[in-house]
């Protein structure tokens, strides 16, 4: 684990597809709860039909066009908050969706927010992850690269995934109706907190959507 400091934003300013695997094993802290990230998805901005930014700059997607290292939060299906780390250079709206993780600190608080579920399910899925961390739309735009803030991010110094072999797997992104075949989701192979894959019923048949 590195105190990446000022160079954290530089790393996050690389393309989403490069940043995504670097987030695996990283620690995301929101208030008193800290998560070890185990599953993420890359979104490549305006060029990516699966991205919210595909149709250009809007009030909602504005944060993604800004500098890397900020949170992009949105509401899914009316009740679930989902969170991304903005990546890439300023002006390019790429981001990485945080899909799952393991609670490594503040577990009691996370359990209170997600009563009745097993520990491995506390943050297993993008909506559940935000619930366990207490994240909502008020976190949209917050900077992950400042020490002492409400939110912070610590990348692994090296050895992504931790403990020996990297063991990172790649597969299609979850629930997309467009660009459903791009293998832009990555996860720590074999980790119990990785969410289960579901293809969108709206998606074109396998192999025809790029």
Shortest Å distance, C-beta 129 to DNA = 6
The residue among 51, 3, 5 whose CA lies nearest residue 145 is 5
Judge contact between 78 and 58, C-beta under 8 A.
no
Between 53 and 110, CB nearer to DNA: 53
- List residues near DNA by CB under 7 A: 41, 43, 50-53, 55, 58-61, 64, 72, 74-80, 82, 84, 95, 97, 114, 117, 125-129, 137, 173-177, 195, 200, 202
Shortest Å distance, C-beta 31 to DNA = 19
Between 177 and 209, CB nearer to DNA: 177
Between 27 and 80, CB nearer to DNA: 80
CA distance 176 to 161: 26
In sequence order, the β-bridge partners of residue 43 are 95
Between 7 and 138, CB nearer to DNA: 138
Shortest Å distance, C-beta 133 to DNA = 12
Shortest Å distance, C-beta 173 to DNA = 7
Shortest Å distance, C-beta 84 to DNA = 5
Cα dist from 33 to 12, 73, 98, whole Å? 22, 18, 15
Judge contact between 76 and 82, C-beta under 8 A.
yes
Between 8 and 40, CB nearer to DNA: 40
Between 163 and 201, CB nearer to DNA: 201
Shortest Å distance, C-beta 79 to DNA = 5
């Amino acid at each position: 684990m590195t105190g990446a400091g000022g160079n954290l934003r530089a790393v996050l300013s690389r393309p989403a597809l490069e940043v995504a695997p670097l987030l695996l094993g990283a620690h995301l802290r929101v208030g008193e709860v800290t998560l070890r990230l185990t599953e993420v998805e890359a979104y490549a901005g305006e060029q990516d039909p699966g991205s919210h930014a595909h149709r250009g700059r809007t009030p909602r997607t504005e944060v993604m066009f800004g500098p890397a290292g900020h949170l992009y939060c949105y509401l899914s299906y009316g009740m679930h908050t989902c969170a991304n780390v903005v990546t890439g250079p300023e002006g390019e709206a790429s981001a990485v969706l945080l899909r799952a993780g393991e609670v490594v600190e503040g577990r009691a608080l996370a359990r209170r927010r997600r009563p009745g579920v097993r520990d491995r399910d506390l943050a297993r899925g993008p909506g559940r992850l935000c619930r366990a961390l207490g994240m909502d739309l008020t976190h949209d735009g917050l900077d992950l690269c400042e020490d002492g803030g409400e939110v912070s991010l610590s990348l692994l110094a090296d050895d992504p995934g931790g403990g020996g072999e990297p063991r990172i797997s790649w597969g299609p992104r979850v629930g997309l109706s467009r660009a459903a075949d791009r293998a832009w989701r990555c996860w720590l192979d074999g980790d119990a907190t990785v969410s289960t894959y579901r293809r969108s019923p709206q998606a074109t048949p396998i192999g025809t959507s790029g």
